[in-house]
Structures are given as C-alpha cells and as structure tokens.
Amino acid sequence: MTPIATAAVYIGVNILILFWLSFRVVGRRRSAQVSLGTGGDAQLEQRVRAHGNASEYIPVTMLGLFVVASLAAPLWAIHAIGGVFTLGRVLHGFGLSGNIMASRAFGMVLTWLGMLGAAVALFWFALT
C-alpha cells in the first residue's frame, strides 16, 4: 500500500465519523422538531457539539496527513499519525455523545497527539 493510499483509508474513516455524528444531529433534530439551533434540547446540543468538535479537528489534520503522505513519509508514520488521531476521534465522539468523561478526555489527548504528530512530520519531511 502506498503512503497516499494509506492516508486515504484514514481520511475515509474520519469522513465516516463526521457522517455518523451528523446523522445523529439530524435524527435528534427531527425527533425534537428543532430546525435551527438547539431549541433548548440538551441532547441535541450535546450532539451538535460532538459534530462541531469533530468538524473543527478532522479537516486540518487529514489535510496534514495527506501532505505528509505526499512527501513520501514511511507507512509507519502515516499509520502512527492516522491511527492515533482516528482512535482519538472515535473515543472523543463516543465520550461527548454519551457523556463519558474518561473516553472524552483520553480521546482529546489522542487527538492532540495525532495533530502534533502531523505537524512535526510536516516539518520533518518537508525540510529533510
């Protein structure tokens, strides 16, 4: 598998995470009959923030992962960045959606490690 194909797998999984979180927002909007905002519905607000948080972190990190792969990084680096970040997003999404603080916190730490790994790898592979 090439570095870009490997990155594509992680990008695809993260798109599915965004889709799942979005689907949960729409489902709650329909059941709560709220078309704009959260209408004071606590469960909808929680789902909106879970999706919003993922929307804030996933695009920039996946762009970084793609560029790292384009710079011919070794597969282990793509898997390390993509795997840690993606696991973090899954844990955080479940934690925030289900109000499970340990999952949410550990997921955020893994998310930050994945982001930091992408940033360091971008500098490393661009400058070497």
* Interatomic CA distance for residues 31 and 47, integer angstroms: 13
Q: What's the whole-model pTM score? A: 0.91
Range of the domain at 25: 3-127
Per the structure, the count of domains in the chain is: 1
Q: What is the share, in percent, of the chain residues with pLDDT greater than 70?
A: 100
- For 59-75, write each residue's pLDDT tens digit: 999 999 999 999 999 99
CB-based contact 78:90 (threshold 8 Å): no
Contact 21, 93 (CB under 8 A): yes
The string of pLDDT tens digits covering residues 103-115 is 999 999 999 999 9
Any idea what the CATH number is for the domain that residue 24 is in? Answer: 1.20.120.550
pLDDT at 80: 98
Distance in angstroms (rounded) separating the CA atoms of residues 112 and 88: 8
